[in-house]
Amino acid sequence: MYRELTADAAPAMIRDRLGPLMRRFSHANGAESVLAPATASDLHIITGFGPTNAPTAGTLSVMLGVIELQRRLDAPMTVIVSELGAWNSRNVPWSQLEAVRDQMLSFLRRIGLDQTRTNLRSHLDFANLARAGKIARYLTRQDFLDNSESLLELYESHGLLGSEVGITVDSLYTVADVLEPAENGTGHALMVSGLEEAYFTELARLVLERQGAAGDLSLGWEATIGALYFRVLEGLAGYPKMSKSIPESAIHLGMPNDTLAERILTDDPDSQPPLLAAIELASGWSETDLDSARDAYQHRDTEPNPWHQVKRRYLDTFIEYADQWHNSAA
């Protein structure tokens, strides 16, 4: 289904196309087929974000990574802020989803998303809703049961999930997002997301395969879909993922500064690895500064002060992003 990306295991072509961005991705699924140099002029990148709350460090890492990836590949991109999908799959008030959606759209522009080559939209998009209606006939309930988010049980245990039908509708909208390039005649689509969302790639491929074999009921879409999956930031305090839906697992851009300081400067052993990962992926620091941070982390038990200073600097950096987030509010 997907392959792990390491310095040794990654195909040379992916290493060449991604360069230093390799460190941001943990796995790939058919990425070679859409990143080959011959596809450069026929490539579209697809990604998206859920507006259930202010971005966590994990979400911020993906946002920064998406911006860097677009610059690296020099390709058009669609970025979706999925308020309607989130309405169906999470127990969050609609007014909150609207407010966070608008703030997130503004924030993405502030931190450098190239608006000239990006279709930045939400799920309140007629073309995508119509596309979701077109593809529904090619999928079954069993398809959605076989291909679902890996963290659903964790979210359900916290009372965060909507109904089964709502979760299916959310998935259908997102599969339609992935298939937008195919409907528009683009031959190669690169989906970038967290690994827990890998199932969207499989569902989109199922649709392409089944509609292609549907005879008179085919949509006539032809495309190759590849995927790159961002490193998942582990959650603070031992949680498997830094998730905005589980507040104690994360730092996010809407937190008060004193709460950010408490979580970033903590000495809790379970929180140190995710804090280093956050610094590596959601700071914007230079490679030289990141190497210094890694060295301080490695020696934190015998020389705690350098690691503490690194975390204090990251606190300042994260607060700067938080200020940009607050300034993005309507």
- Which CATH number is 37's domain given? 3.40.50.620
What's the token pair of residue 286?
A: 């230079």
Q: Please tell me the predicted confidence (pLDDT) of residue 41.
A: 84
pLDDT at position 232, please? 84
Domain count, the chain: 2
Q: Give the number of residues written for the chain.
A: 330
pLDDT of residue 240: 82
Domain containing residue 96: 3-230
Backbone conformation region of residue 50, classed left if phi is above 0, alpha if psi is from -120 to 50, else beta: beta
Q: What is the DSSP letter of 159?
A: T
For residue 78, is it within any domain?
A: yes
Residue 235 in domain: no
Q: Sign of the CA dihedral 231, 232, 237, 239? A: negative
pLDDT in tens, the chain (330 residues): 567 776 556 677 788 888 888 889 999 999 998 998 767 789 999 999 999 889 989 899 999 999 999 999 999 999 999 999 999 988 899 999 999 999 999 999 999 999 999 999 999 999 999 999 999 999 998 998 887 655 445 444 444 455 778 888 999 999 999 999 999 999 999 999 988 888 999 999 999 999 999 999 999 999 999 999 999 888 998 888 887 667 788 899 999 999 999 999 999 999 999 999 999 999 999 989 999 999 999 999 999 999 999 999 999 999 999 999 999 997
The pLDDT score that the predictor gives to residue 118 is: 96
Domain shared by 221 and 283, yes or no: no
3-state DSSP call for residue 330?
coil
Question: What is the CB neighbour count within 10 angstroms for residue 328?
Answer: 18
Predicted local confidence at residue 230, as pLDDT = 93
Q: Count CB atoms within 10 A of the CB of residue 206.
A: 18
Q: Is residue 237 part of a domain?
A: no
Task: Report pLDDT for 187.
Answer: 94
The pTM for the full model equals: 0.88
Q: Are residues 76 and 103 in the same domain?
A: yes
Give yes or no: residues 23 and 90 share one domain: yes
Residues 118 and 246 in one domain: no
Question: Which ranges of 111-222 does DSSP label H, i.e. alpha helix?
Answer: 126-135, 141-146, 152-157, 164-178, 180-183, 199-212
Question: In angstroms, rounded to a whole number, what is the distance separating the alpha carbons of residues 160 and 55?
Answer: 17
Residue 173: its pLDDT value, please?
Answer: 95
Q: Is 40 exposed, middle or buried (0-12, 13-18, 19+ CB in 10 A)?
A: middle
State residue 151's pLDDT score. 46
Same domain flag for 78 and 107? yes
Same-domain pairing of 264 and 211: no
Is the CB of residue 151 less than 8 Å from the CB of residue 223?
no
DSSP 148: -
Does residue 71 share a domain with residue 198?
yes
pLDDT score at 146 = 85
- Same-domain check for residues 193 and 118: yes
Rounded to 5°, angle at Cα 309 from 303 and 315: 140
Among 230, 250, 270, residue at a domain's last position: 230
- 272-281 helix and 304-327 helix, angle to the nearest 10 degrees: 60
Domain boundary among 179, 197, 230: 230
The last residue of a domain, from among 198, 230, 262: 230
One-letter amino acid identity for 147? N
Distance between CA atoms of 135 and 265, rounded to whole angstroms? 48
